Structure 1
Amino acid sequence: MKALVQAFQHSMDDTISAIATAPGEGGIGIVRLSGPAALVIAGKLFRGIKDRRIQAIKSYQAAYGNIVDPDTGQAVDEALVLVMRNPHSYTKEDVVEIQCHGGMVPLRRILELTVQAGARIAEPGEFTKRAFLNGRLDLSQAEAVIDVIRAKTDASLKMAVGQLNGAVSQKVQGLRQELLAMIAHLEAAIDFPEEDIDAVAVDRVQASVNQVLVTVNAMLATASTGQILREGLATVIIGKPNVGKSSLLNALSGQNRAIVTDIPGTTRDIIEEYVNIRGIPLRVLDTAGIRDTADAVEQIGVERAKASLEQADLILLVLDASTPLTTEDRQVITFLTGRKGIVLVNKSDLPAVWDIAEIQTGIGGTRIISLSIQQGSGLDRLEQAIVDMVYSGSLILGEGGIVNNVRHIMILRQAKSHLEAALATICQGMPLDCISIDIRAAWEKLGEITGDTLGEDIIDKIFSEFCIGK
């Protein structure tokens, strides 16, 4: 970690500045400064009431006044200035936040003045990057910051906050400590062969490796749920025209997002909407009704509907119980083969003209739910089916860290591979130093999650995905 700080030291000597609030108009906008000259730069611009200066403001106190152009003395905007002195700030550096009116013109003008006074524009994620490099956050906690910002439901927010508070970090650090103890034990046995402790060392290490593998596998078991809560469950609604697909989207989203008519082929393109199902974010795609058509535009919609199935995590297949099954229905049913799906038999409020047994063979063990979208009956069973599918009936939010980051998942899989190699080495009776090499590789790999053993190029890539000002 010390080497990383040294690698980035040239950029950390600068004082950075950025607009920290979202683009657009709002009641309040914030320009944030961080770095060794933050107080000096803000002091050139701020004129408090009764000529109060930045240096007189205590940490965590706000002062009211004006931001002025030092060259002309002209006021740019009235503002509140909040001072946070190092090391008790987000970045562990001197930080000043200028809170002004939330229009783009005053914000950009104040940002421009901070640059003229000696700051430079911050890179994406550079404030959080400095928090990481200065030891306030480890890398997995820093990555959780963007998950908090992008959280789509209470459940995804709860997961992200848990990671921000170190739920994953603590587990990983615990595993690394166990692996380090194994490495020390093996190296002691290598350095003092006359003590004849080889057999004892190997037995103890083998048991410890198996124990670590149990924890790694348990963390990987949360990955599917974690990614869904982070990214949203890609859900595609399919069916022939006029079975109730658009009505289902409207019912799930609670708004008239899609046009609903009795005319077949009303939906001609894909409509996308995020839906919250008991804390689970669904990225729902309502597709064109699948059928053979001579209409060129509708035909394009049908092809896009079929293509969307390739990216689907969940398929909601809608059938109409009040009309006979058609060739189009049976064609759509074939799309469920080898995929996660739920069959929704709609219009259960009307007399049924076919029996569910007629489709059982084509859908295998796929769950079937009868419902009436128009009357709202059966939607609760659909929601519960989605919850059961995502959580598999076993995961409780808040119990330890949920792994939701693709980078973390890949690292855990690689660490698992090294640990399994160590066990194979033990079983083959290989020398202790060979066992130690595999365990050390797992220890180093897990350090990439927290940032203890990671190159600066990867760190730059991670923080480049953040928004500017965070």
Structure 2
Amino acid sequence: MSEDVVVCRTSPDSLEIHCHGGNVAVDRILESLAAIGVEVVPASQAEWLWNSPVDAACQSLLQRAATQRTALLLVDQAELWAREIERFRQQADPNRRQSRLAEIAAWESFARHLTEPWNVVLCGRPNAGKSSLMNVIAGFARSIVHAVAGTTRDVVTYETAIDGWPVRFSDTAGLRETADPLECQGVQRTHSAIAAADLVIGLFDLSEPPTPEDEQLWRELPRSALRIGNKSDLEIRWPADRLNEVERISARTGEGVPNLLARLRDRLVPALPPPGLPLPIDPAWRTWLEVPTR
């Protein structure tokens, strides 16, 4: 099958090639060009394209934007940084410089997630409904659901966007004491995933009284974790005082899931950077304010 492309001359010594098909079509065109002797290099290394290392870094990150919303935040960063560098060099007051550095640095985590998804881990004891919730969020059977406890033994991930913000959900093995060596490995991976998470969702089965595993998980969850009571469509057997501390959902019917996702979004992105602020989108951003760009 053949596909037409559009070739535009943008200057006497440069061309642009436009095609359909996403990365597969682009890779095929690059392979064809390489076959006739064209040297293919990453855009970040094509220094002649950019006015400065700052410009190159900004353009490279823009290409890696996970969603349209994050791309819109990245698209103006080269211009914002050019203005910031000039203002910073004209600022003679060291205290104001330090204050500005702190203001920019406060957004490092947010800036990192413009190209890397936030990592949200679902955890709980076996059969609490983690895999069912993952499937509701995904809109298809991403995780295996079975009445037999311990079905999930590895970390199963799914990437999506919530209100334009990239999020990776991780469905994990149920937390319990077990003699099964494979399940033990799954539990260990669950603990590792929790330690590396941006946000943890602790899932509890409201249709059964709290178990010792539930009580242990309740105590050990990070303070920032969301405590979610699942199976609200069944007879609830949790004590009333505990019910006030969880948000109720039903992964089977979908009840409460939209509210959970909205709460999740607000927890991951509680605020947006002020307009006009350059974001610390590259590990070298501090050097941009110290070393003249070419």
Name the TM-score, length of structure 1 as normaliser. 0.55
The alpha-carbon distance between structure 1 residues 127 and 407, as it changes in their structure 2 partners (threshold 3 A), is closer
The alpha-carbon distance between structure 1 residues 105 and 313, as it changes in their structure 2 partners (threshold 3 A), is closer
Aligned with residue 111 of structure 1, among 24, 34, 43: 34
Determine if the alignment matches structure 1 residue 407 to structure 2 residue 275: no
The alpha-carbon distance between structure 1 residues 147 and 353, as it changes in their structure 2 partners (threshold 3 A), is same
Q: Kindly indicate which of the two structures has a greater share of residues assigned to helix.
A: 1
**1:209 alignment counterpart:** 94
The alpha-carbon distance between structure 1 residues 335 and 406, as it changes in their structure 2 partners (threshold 3 A), is farther
SS in 2 for 1:308: helix
**1:96 alignment counterpart:** 15
Query: In structure 1, what is the Cα distance between the partners aligned to 2:123 and 2:212?
Result: 15
The alpha-carbon distance between structure 1 residues 127 and 250, as it changes in their structure 2 partners (threshold 3 A), is same
Query: In structure 2, what is the Cα distance between the partners aligned to 1:159 and 1:223?
Result: 14
Aligned residues: 290
The alpha-carbon distance between structure 1 residues 368 and 395, as it changes in their structure 2 partners (threshold 3 A), is farther
SS in 2 for 1:212: helix
**2:8 corresponds to which letter in structure 1?**
L
CA offset at residue 404 of structure 1?
Answer: 3.1
**1:171 alignment counterpart:** 84
Query: In structure 2, what is the Cα distance between the partners aligned to 1:229 and 1:158?
Result: 10
Determine if the alignment matches structure 1 residue 357 to structure 2 residue 241: yes
**2:10 alignment counterpart:** 84
| Contact 1:230–1:404, Cα closer than 8 Å, also in 2 | no
SS in 2 for 1:217: helix
Name the TM-score, length of structure 2 as normaliser. 0.84
CA offset at residue 112 of structure 1?
Answer: 2.8
**1:407 corresponds to which letter in structure 2?**
A
The alpha-carbon distance between structure 1 residues 81 and 370, as it changes in their structure 2 partners (threshold 3 A), is closer
Aligned with residue 263 of structure 2, among 385, 393, 401: 385
Bigger drift between 344-353 and 235-244 goes to 344-353
Structure 2 residue runs of 5 or longer lacking an equivalent are: none
| Contact 2:173–2:183, Cα closer than 8 Å, also in 1 | yes
SS in 2 for 1:167: helix
| Contact 1:253–1:273, Cα closer than 8 Å, also in 2 | yes
The alpha-carbon distance between structure 1 residues 98 and 265, as it changes in their structure 2 partners (threshold 3 A), is same
**1:140 alignment counterpart:** 54
The alpha-carbon distance between structure 1 residues 282 and 26, as it changes in their structure 2 partners (threshold 3 A), is farther
SS in 1 for 2:170: strand
**1:376 alignment counterpart:** 254
Determine if the alignment matches structure 1 residue 395 to structure 2 residue 272: yes
CA offset at residue 323 of structure 1?
Answer: 0.5
SS in 2 for 1:156: helix
Determine if the alignment matches structure 1 residue 225 to structure 2 residue 151: no
Identity of aligned residues (%): 28
**1:32 alignment counterpart:** none
| Contact 2:207–2:234, Cα closer than 8 Å, also in 1 | yes
CA offset at residue 246 of structure 1?
Answer: 0.8
Query: In structure 1, what is the Cα distance between the partners aligned to 2:215 and 2:183?
Result: 20
SS in 2 for 1:231: coil
Query: In structure 1, what is the Cα distance between the partners aligned to 2:108 and 2:18?
Result: 40
**1:112 corresponds to which letter in structure 2?**
A
The alpha-carbon distance between structure 1 residues 211 and 254, as it changes in their structure 2 partners (threshold 3 A), is same
Alignment of 1:437-452 (within 5 A): 446-448=289-291, 452=293
The alpha-carbon distance between structure 1 residues 255 and 152, as it changes in their structure 2 partners (threshold 3 A), is farther
Determine if the alignment matches structure 1 residue 254 to structure 2 residue 139: yes
| Contact 2:30–2:40, Cα closer than 8 Å, also in 1 | no
**2:155 alignment counterpart:** 270
CA offset at residue 357 of structure 1?
Answer: 3.2
The alpha-carbon distance between structure 1 residues 141 and 99, as it changes in their structure 2 partners (threshold 3 A), is closer
**1:452 corresponds to which letter in structure 2?**
T
CA offset at residue 81 of structure 1?
Answer: 4.4
